[in-house]
Amino acid sequence: MKIRKLLGKYKFRRRSSIIIIFTENRKSDVKNIFIFEKTNNKYFMTVIGLRVKSNSKIYYCILEELPDGSLNYVDITHLKIPLALNWPEALNFVRNTILDILLQYGVKKAIIRICEFGITFNSTINERVYIEGVLQETIASSNVEKYKAGQIAEFTSLLGIKRDEFKKYAQADLHYENIPTEINWDKLSLEERETILTANAALNL
């Protein structure tokens, strides 16, 4: 199955006593996966925060809010877009792979952190904007129930912080406390810190 080729490094997770099994892409299998999501969704909320770094990397954080209000950081990683693909193929790769990720984790809320106004545009930035557009279209056509694509000022209110505080957290000038002790905030990349912040904001959509 394609998802195993694209997401070989990712863990297939057991939830309750049910396991997602990806086989041929038949309608019956898709229906079974959706039943799995509906059965388990009442027990916790799964969200994703996304941040495109360039025309070849998409950072994201998968976050679960458990019934007791605690948070489980399922994955903080990035998707690498193969440079060997031509541009239409690369965008198609992004769409298909992100759909697979959303389905695999049963994501219900999402936030995409997009380019800020005033940025100097070049070919790489233009391609980043195209990828951000594909992400929005992909999420809109998925089972995600609530989503937002915005600049920093558009979702910091969901975190209960000011715009300049977001930048300080992202640059590790401030330490974000809503993470487990095993995650070293200072050692994360700027993009990883931003996806953690956006994922936490998505919980409040």
What total number of domains does the chain contain? 1
Dihedral-angle region of residue 67 (phi above 0 means left; psi in -120 to 50 means alpha; beta otherwise): alpha
Q: How many CB atoms lie within 10 A of CB 123?
A: 8
13 closest CA partner among 30, 36, 31: 36
pLDDT at 117: 66
CATH code, 112? 3.30.420.10
Beta bridge partners of 60: 50, 77
pLDDT at 1: 33
Query: Which residue segment(s) compose the domain that 145 sits in?
Result: 2-202
Measured between alpha carbons, how far is 30 from 32 in angstroms, rounded to an integer?
A: 5
pLDDT at 54: 84
Q: How many CB atoms lie within 10 A of CB 183?
A: 13
Q: What is the pLDDT along the chain (205 residues), one digit of tens a residue?
A: 333 333 333 333 434 333 333 334 444 344 333 333 434 444 589 999 999 998 889 999 999 999 888 999 999 999 999 999 999 999 999 999 999 999 999 999 999 999 876 566 677 778 888 999 999 999 999 999 999 999 998 889 999 999 899 999 999 999 999 999 899 999 999 999 999 999 999 999 9
pLDDT at 9: 36
Instruction: Give how far the C-alpha of residue 69 lies from the chain's centroid of Cα atoms, to the nearest Å.
Output: 20
Is the distance from CB of 129 to CB of 117 less than 8 angstroms? no
